[in-house]
Amino acid sequence: MSYLFTSESVSEGHPDKVADQISDALIDNFLAFDPSSKVACETLVTTGQVVLAGEVHSKTYLDVQKIARDVINKIGYTKGEYMFDGNSCGVFSAIHEQSQDINQGVDRGNYEEQGAGDQGMMFGYATKETENYMPLALDLSHRLLIELAELRRECKDIPYLRPDAKSQVTIEYSDDNVPQRIDTIVISTQHDEFDEDEAMLAKIKSDIISILIPRVIAKLPKKIQILFNNDITYHINPTGKFVIGGPHGDTGLTGRKIIVDTYGGKGAHGGGAFSGKDPSKVDRSAAYASRHIAKNLVAAGLCDEVLVQVSYAIGVAKPTSINVETYGTSKVNLTDGEISKIVEKLFDMRPAAIEKRLKLRNPIYSETAAYGHMGRTPEIKIVRFESPDGSVVEQEIETFTWEKLDYIEKVKTAFNI
């Protein structure tokens, strides 16, 4: 019997995502001027206020207020009527020095033996149902909001949009886990004030269905396009009016959208957030490395779907466990336990090795903080940072390195595929 599966996404203007983006902007600035920085910073945003807190061990000094304001303005909170804008909001910093008790367990004389920044388990997932090896419901949820943000910035076809938005997509699957059709699409988008509520709702629903949806469909592969049909149930701004939004409508905190950041409820999650953490924190770096493993296993043809788990003890370099679950889709004559042993030998999962392999000591994190950390396209680009003393760093970076399919041949060799 067929079944339904749902995933959601939130826009860059969602209050929790505003907080994530500020935290990751701080990470990038610290790493740009001191790549050895150890940072764990949290952000709270609410009506007219930003609160920064956390622990930092770094040789550099930053103007954290300016960084926060620049992020807020870039997102689009630039008007006083939003009750939260980058030029006028208060920014309070309670960032302080990292505990030496933690740092001594991470920093070692031999960099290769750098200990894990915390205990815990992390997961990576991949599936062949999309070209980027991501679950389809989450991929479509992200795409809807990315396109909605483009429409907002164009300020032409849908000129009344404001930054805060959420999406949700429900897909019908067959018994053998193949997507059959889009069942339901939910979109809630913040908007300017209208003169008349009923006309407002009709206008927003019409614009979303007739302008946004066709733009999203046009950018999809043919096999995904055919899943859209005239029987889709749409819930557009189902609560009605959505003028009050963003941090004025709801307090935002770093790390509250961990399922949006990963796989939309598919696979599993270890519970640790990513944003605001430097790569010595395995919550972030090992989750990226696990995704890298999972994606390359599926792309190499080892299996159709896979979940990779890794776990650590704080201050210890070697993982306490590595486990691979292929959900019965393996194409090789090996148990999942045997596959796990080979993967353990093929991928060095010590924290320092992950940092080096995926180039995680570079300022690459701001782009991860909205529309998912996984399933994105790696790019090489030049980034520029300026410190309060006027010094400037320009650096070539490679983003989303954990999405590279650079281990396919090694996987094929290791498993005789």
Annotated binding site for Mg(2+): 16
From CA 135, how far away is CA 306, in angstroms rounded?
A: 12
Residue numbering of the annotated binding site for L-methionine: 55, 98, 250, 281
Q: DSSP string of 212-248?
A: IHHHHHHTS-HHHHTT--TT-EEEESTTS---S-HHH
Annotated binding site: 14, 16, 42, 55, 98, 164-166, 241-242, 250, 256-257, 273, 277, 281
Q: Rounded to an integer, what is the distance from CA 322 to the centroid of its chain?
A: 23
Structure tokens at 53: 């807190």
Residue 153: left if φ>0, alpha if ψ -120 to 50, beta else—which one? alpha
Q: Which of 305, 275, 295, 301 is nearest to 365 (CA)?
A: 275
Which residues are known binding-site members for ATP?
A: 14, 164-166, 241-242, 250, 256-257, 273, 277
d(CA 337, CA 319): 16
The string over 155-172, giving b where at least 16 C-beta atoms fall within 10 Å of a residue's C-beta and e elsewhere, is: eeebebbbbbbbbbbbbe
Q: What are phi and psi of 297, to 5 degrees?
A: -65, -45
Neighbours of 287 (CB within 10 A): 29
Strands 252-253 and 38-46: antiparallel
Only one residue has tokens 């300017």, namely 192
How far apart (Å, rounded) are the C-alpha atoms in residues 220 and 130? 10
Q: Is there a contact between 38 and 278 (Cβ–Cβ < 8 Å)?
A: yes
Residues of the binding site for K(+): 42
Q: Which residues pair with 63 in a beta bridge?
A: none
Do the beta carbons of residue 310 and residue 353 sit within 8 Å?
Answer: no
